C-alpha cells in the first residue's frame, strides 16, 4: 500500500505584514512538504473582513516568493468557503451533534459574573442543550437570534492527541464548554472554518504556532462530530525577544517584518537558514545548509520545545538585528558563487543610483572582480552601496576618523602622495604588482614605516580606514581614479 501523501499548509491571516514568526512557520511547512515529496498548500485566512487587507495579502505573497518558499496549491481564500463552513454547522445540527443556543449576551454575562464572584471557572452551563424540540421551534418562530454550539461529550474522559513536538496533550471534556461554532449573525467561528478547510484541503499535518494548541482539542471534537479524519499536529515554540516577551508586530514593529530584512540587505537564503535554526536543532549542530541539504536534514522531531530567543536590536545602531542573523548573512554573501550574488548587488546599486549598464556589459569582468574583492569584509548587501561607493562612483565620503588617523597625522603625505601619483602615471602597466614595486621603492627612499604610506594611500583613494589589500584595491580602481584621487589629497589637510 502506498503511503498517504503528506499535505501541509501555511494559513496566514492577512492582517499585517509577514513577520519572522510567520515566515518560520511557513518554512517548516515547506521543508516538510519538500522532504516528504508532499504538497504545500497556501491558504489565506481572510474571514475577518475588518482586519484583512489586500495590501497584507500581497505582502505575504511577496515575502514568501522572496524567501524562495514555493507552494503547490493555492492561494485559497477562506472567505470563499463561508457557505461551506455554515453547511458543516447545519450538518452537525441535523445529526444532533450541535444545538441552537438562544441565550442572550446579557444572560451569559450575568452567569459569567456570578461565576467570577464565586471564583469558579466559567463554562456555558448548557441551558439550551436541554431545550425540547418544541421549545426550540417556538423560539425560532418568535424570531429569536441564536448561536450554534457544539455538543461536547458529557461523559468521563477527554480529548487527547500526540503532538509531534510537545508529545501527548490531553484535555478533559469537563474542561471544554459547549463552544460556539456559528455566531448569531450567521458568521462561522474560526475554529470551525479552520477545521473544515483543513479537511477539505486534505491536510495530513497541521504545523503551526504554539498558540494553536488551545484550539486543537476543540477542532478534534469538530472533526469527530463531522466524521472527518483528524490530522496530525505539530506545534512550534514561540520566538521571544531578549526580555522574554513574545515577538510581535505590535511591540517590535518593522524589526520583525520580513520586508525589513529584504530592505536592509539580507539574502533570502541567509534569512531562511537563520530562521530555521531559530527553534530547530539538527543532530550534528550544523550551521550552514544549502537548500538541498536542509531539505534532507529537516525533521519535525528536531523542532525545539523550548522557546527561542531572537535578539531584536532596537536601539543599537551597530546592529540592525540579531548579530547571529547578520553573521549568517555575511557568511553567504562572502562565499556564495559570484554569479549568484551578482543580481543582488546590481539591485542594491540600482537602488542607490550607482548602477551603470557597462557593469553588465564590457566591464562585467571588472565588476565581478570588484565585488569579489570587497565582499570579504561586508555583512549586508547594503554595504556594497555604502562602503562600496568609492569603487563604483567618483564622489564618496571621506571618513573623518580615517582622515585624522591616516592623513592629517602625517602632513608630509600632502606632498608624498601627489609625487606617488606621478610615478603611477608613468607606469607601463598598472597592476597590483607594479604599484607595489613603486610603493616599496618610495618607502625605501623616504625611510619611513610602511604603514604611514600604505594607510595614507588607502584613505586617499577610498576615504576609508580599513579595506582589502591595498595593491588589489589600486589595481581594481584603475590608474585614472587612483592618480586623480592621490593628486587632490592636499584638500584634506
Ligand atoms: N490563520 C492563523 C494565524 O495566522 C493560522 C492558524 C493555523 O495555522 O491553524 O494565526
Is the beta carbon of 11 within 6 A of some atom in ligand 1?
yes
| Among 274, 388, 279, residue whose Cα is nearest residue 332 | 274
Ligand 1 center to 208 CA (angstroms): 7
- For 102, 314, 420, 453, 490, the CA distances from 440, given in Å and listed in that order, are 94, 47, 11, 10, 22
CA–CA separation, 205 and 29 (whole Å): 9
Is the beta carbon of 216 within 6 A of some atom in ligand 1?
no
Percentages of the chain per state (helix, strand, coil), in multiples of 5? 55, 10, 35
CB atoms within 10 A of CB 83: 9
Domain count, the chain: 4
CB atoms within 10 A of CB 143: 6
Is the beta carbon of 194 within 6 A of some atom in ligand 1?
yes
**Inside any domain, residue 393:** no
Instruction: Say yes or no: 64 and 111 in one domain.
Output: no
| Residues forming beta bridges with residue 137, ordered by sequence position | none
Report which ligand 1 atom has the smallest distance to the Cα of 22: 4
Q: How far is CA 289 from the centre of its chain?
A: 17
CATH of the domain at 360: 1.10.1160.10
C-alpha cell at 436: 607595489
pTM: 0.93
Ligand 1 center to 12 CA (angstroms): 5
CA–CA separation, 179 and 151 (whole Å): 8
Residue with cell 607606469: 427
C-alpha cell at 306: 523550548
Instruction: Say yes or no: 53 and 158 in one domain.
Output: no
CATH of the domain at 92: 3.90.800.10
Report which ligand 1 atom has the smallest distance to the Cα of 45: 1
Instruction: Say yes or no: 63 and 208 in one domain.
Output: yes
The confidence band for 1, taking pLDDT boundaries of 50, 70 and 90, is very low
**Inside any domain, residue 332:** yes
Contact 446, 416 (CB under 8 A): yes
Instruction: Say yes or no: 345 and 434 in one domain.
Output: no
194: helix, strand or coil: helix
Instruction: Say yes or no: 162 and 201 in one domain.
Output: no
Q: For 374-425, write each residue's pLDDT tens digit.
A: 999 999 999 999 999 999 999 999 999 999 999 999 999 999 999 999 999 9
Residue with cell 452567569: 111
Percent of the chain clearing pLDDT 90 (strictly above) = 91
Instruction: Say yes or no: 19 and 65 in one domain.
Output: yes
CA–CA separation, 297 and 286 (whole Å): 10
Instruction: Say yes or no: 457 and 317 in one domain.
Output: no
**Inside any domain, residue 102:** yes
Q: For 113-141, write each residue's pLDDT tens digit.
A: 999 999 998 999 999 999 999 999 999 99
Q: Is the pLDDT of residue 313 over 80?
A: no
Q: Which domain holds residue 345?
A: 250-385
Q: Is the pLDDT of residue 316 over 80?
A: no
CB atoms within 10 A of CB 45: 20
C-alpha cell at 464: 576609508
Local structure of residue 306 (DSSP, 8 states)? S
**Inside any domain, residue 392:** no
The residue among 385, 408, 433 that closes a domain is: 385
Instruction: Say yes or no: 65 and 194 in one domain.
Output: yes
The residue among 182, 212, 231 that closes a domain is: 182
Q: Is the pLDDT of residue 184 over 90?
A: yes
Q: For 82-113, write each residue's pLDDT tens digit.
A: 999 999 999 999 999 999 999 999 999 999 99
Q: Which residues are known to be catalytic? A: 249
Amino acid at each position: 500500500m502506498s503511503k498517504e501523501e503528506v499535505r501541509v499548509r501555511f494559513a496566514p491571516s492577512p492582517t499585517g505584514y509577514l513577520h519572522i514568526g510567520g515566515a518560520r512557520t511557513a518554512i517548516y511547512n515547506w521543508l516538510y512538504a519538500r522532504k516528504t515529496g508532499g504538497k504545500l498548500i497556501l491558504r489565506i485566512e481572510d474571514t475577518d473582513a475588518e482586519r484583512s487587507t489586500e495590501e497584507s495579502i500581497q505582502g505575504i505573497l511577496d515575502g514568501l516568493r522572496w524567501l524562495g518558499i514555493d507552494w503547490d496549491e493555492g492561494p485559497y481564500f477562506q472567505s470563499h468557503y463561508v457557505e461551506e463552513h455554515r453547511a458543516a454547522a447545519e450538518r452537525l445540527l441535523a445529526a444532533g451533534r450541535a444545538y441552537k443556543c438562544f441565550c442572550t449576551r446579557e444572560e451569559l454575562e450575568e452567569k459569567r459574573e456570578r461565576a467570577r464572584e464565586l471564583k469558579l471557572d466559567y463554562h456555558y452551563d448548557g441551558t439550551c442543550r436541554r431545550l425540547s424540540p418544541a421549545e426550540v421551534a417556538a423560539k425560532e418562530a418568535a424570531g429569536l437570534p441564536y448561536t450554534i454550539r457544539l455538543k461536547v461529550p458529557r461523559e468521563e474522559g477527554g480529548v487527547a492527541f500526540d503532538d509531534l513536538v510537545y508529545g501527548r496533550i490531553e484535555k478533559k471534556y469537563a474542561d471544554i464548554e459547549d463552544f460556539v461554532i456559528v455566531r448569531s449573525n450567521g458568521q462561522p467561528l474560526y475554529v470551525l472554518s479552520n477545521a473544515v478547510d483543513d479537511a477539505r484541503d486534505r491536510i495530513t499535518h497541521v504545523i503551526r504556532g504554539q498558540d494553536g494548541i488551545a484550539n486543537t482539542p476543540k477542532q478534534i471534537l469538530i472533526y469527530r462530530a463531522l466524521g472527518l479524519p483528524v490530522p496530525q499536529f505539530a506545534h512550534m515554540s514561540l520566538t521571544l525577544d531578549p526580555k522574554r516577551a513574545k515577538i510581535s508586530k505590535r511591540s517590535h514593529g518593522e524589526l520583525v517584518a520580513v520586508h525589513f530584512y529584504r530592505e536592509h540587505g539580507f539574502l533570502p537564503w541567509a534569512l531562511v537558514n537563520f530562521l530555521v535554526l531559530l527553534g530547530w536543532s539538527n543532530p550534528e549542530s550544523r550551521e550552514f545548509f544549502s537548500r538541498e541539504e536542509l531539505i534532507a536534514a529537516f525533521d519535525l522531531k528536531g523542532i525545539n520545545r523550548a522557546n527561542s530567543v531572537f535578539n531584536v536590536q532596537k536601539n543599537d545602531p551597530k546592529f540592525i538585528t540579531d548579530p547571529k542573523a547578520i553573521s549568517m548573512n555575511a557568511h553567504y554573501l562572502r562565499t556564495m558563487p559570484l554569479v549568484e550574488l551578482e543580481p543582488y548587488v546590481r539591485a542594491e546599486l540600482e537602488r542607490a543610483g550607482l548602477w551603470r549598464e557597462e557593469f553588465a556589459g564590457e566591464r562585467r569582468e571588472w565588476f565581478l572582480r570588484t565585488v569579489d574583492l570587497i565582499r570579504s569584509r561586508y555583512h549586508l548587501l547594503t554595504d556594497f552601496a555604502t562602503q562600496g561607493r568609492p569603487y563604483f562612483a567618483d564622489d564618496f565620503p571621506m571618513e573623518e576618523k580615517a582622515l585624522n588617523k591616516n592623513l592629517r597625522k602625517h602632513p608630509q603625505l600632502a606632498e608624498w602622495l601627489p609625487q606617488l601619483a606621478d610615478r603611477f602615471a608613468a607606469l607601463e602597466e598598472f597592476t597590483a604588482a607594479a604599484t607595489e614595486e613603486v610603493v616599496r621603492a618610495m618607502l625605501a627612499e623616504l625611510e619611513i614605516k610602511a604603514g604611514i604610506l600604505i594607510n595614507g594611500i588607502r584613505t586617499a583613494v577610498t576615504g576609508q580606514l580599513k579595506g582589502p589589500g591595498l595593491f588589489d584595491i589600486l589595481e581594481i580602481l584603475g590608474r585614472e581614479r587612483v592618480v586623480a584621487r592621490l593628486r587632490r589629497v592636499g584638500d584634506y589637510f
